Structure 1
Amino acid sequence: MLNKIKGINNYMHIDTELLIACAKNDRKAQKKLYEACYVFLMPKCLQYHKNEEDARAIFNKGFYKILKNLSKIDLEEVMFAAWSKRIMANTLIDDYRKNKNYKTNINIKENDQELDYHASSSSNDALNAFGQKDIMQLLEYLKPAAKQVFLMYVVEGYNHREIAEMLNMSEGTSKWHLSTARKELKERLEKLTEAELRTKVI
């Protein structure tokens, strides 16, 4: 089963001394941290927002939360990269929930006849056969709710219970959106493969 897309973000290591300086409102240190986080976390924002300006606006909101909460954690014990990544993910999720189309996007009934909790093995095999870049580009064709659940489950590593709680939907609806996303991605990837084969034949 495709549970993760590898290589989404590069590794980031930040010295504890820099974080301590940032917590003390050292502007130079905060600028340095901003630049490091931008390289590490901006790609995540672009996964949710194809418009770079919108992605940067969300990144800035997330970075502000990171700075605001630095003084509340044990900087020598917390894994900063994982911690900052989770804050940015939560910021992106909160932004999605505020979207005016949010309620419409998640309004799927659990007794829908097309409800399918489990992606077929063929869907998973097809997705595993392609790289991260191909899949991430095709995510833009998904409906907002399906894309959101797919990113949270596959990229962020949340389980369906957590997704359901954060997006105010049932676990069944979360599973439905994931299954829908996988099936549509599989179909689009197959069409992409067919097009490439035709080009080679020609």
Structure 2
Amino acid sequence: MLNFEETIVGCLRNQSKSKEMVYKSFYGYLMAVILRYVNDRDDAEELVNDAFIKIFNAVKQFKFPANKEEHQKAFKAWISKIASRTAIDFLRTKRNLMSIEEIVEEQEPLTEINIITALNVKDILKLLDALPEIQKLIFNLYEIEGFSHDEIAKTLNIPESSSRVYLTRAKNKLRTLYSKTIANAYATY
């Protein structure tokens, strides 16, 4: 049994067994990343496979961090970015994104970010599907993937202020949806 570092080196050498190990080890993880962007399972499976092709073609670009304990964590972060960009490219080609307008932050009322204490990640992920595509995309990129507004703006070719506004709208809508979900839950008792 190869250790993680040997498996990645095997991928660099184009060894099928190493690639298979990486594929089996990270398939579920990348599927979860992709499903945050697309709702159709068939599309997601295809995108995961596309992401793995990109990963194996670019594996020589992955740099192991100095701390050996961080190797797998760094690799997961690296492949996650590849998978999220693969999903974004897919969404662009399908033109599922609603028209992205240039929005100036002053046009949107600023609301204080005030997370509901009972809100958890699973609840948010369930509610994300109710968001408009562009809000869902920017929420995923910023809050889950850790992209900056500048990176999002460059990736989506929109002004940075639009990214901020769409994120604010997404958070506000998620709060509203979550509140309704809680209210409905209490109403059924």
TM-score range, shorter chain: 0.7 to 0.9
Q: Which amino acid aligns with 1:80?
A: F
- Change in CA separation of 1:184 and 1:21 when aligned onto 2, cut-off 3 Å: same
Please say if 1:84 is aligned against 2:79: yes
Alignment partner, residue 170 of structure 2: 181
1:105 equivalent to 2:115? Answer: no
Query: In structure 2, do the counterparts of structure 1 residues 100 and 172 end up closer, same or farther at CA, with 3 Å as the change threshold?
Result: same
Match of 2:55 in 1: 66
Query: What is the TM-score of this pair, normalised by structure 2?
Result: 0.86
Correspondence for 1:152 among 133, 141, 145 = 141
User: How many residues are matched?
Assistant: 181
> 2-side partners of 1:154 and 1:178: how far apart?
9
Q: Distance in 2 between matches of 1:20 and 1:74?
A: 11
Corresponding residue for residue 125 of structure 1? 115
Q: Which runs of 5+ in 1 are unaligned?
A: 1-13
Offset at 1:107?
Answer: 1.9
Structure 2: runs of 5+ lacking an equivalent: none
Shift of 1:171: 1.2
- SS of residue matched to 2:35: helix
Amino acid of the residue matched to residue 187 of structure 1?
A: T
Q: How far is 1:76 from its partner? A: 7.0
Tell me how far apart the structure 1 counterparts of residues 102 and 77 of structure 2 sit (CA, whole Å): 32
Cα distance in 1 between the residues matched to 2:104 and 2:53: 38
Question: Which of 18, 21, 31 in structure 1 is aligned with 2:10?
Answer: 21
Q: 2:32 corresponds to which residue? A: 43
1:197 alignment counterpart: 186
| Residue 140 of structure 1: aligned partner | 129
174-183 or 67-76: which moved more?
A: 67-76
Q: Percent identity?
A: 29
Classify the secondary structure of the residue corresponding to 1:195. helix
Alpha carbons 1:20, 1:75 under 8 Å: kept: no
- Say whether residues 1:171 and 2:160 are aligned partners: yes
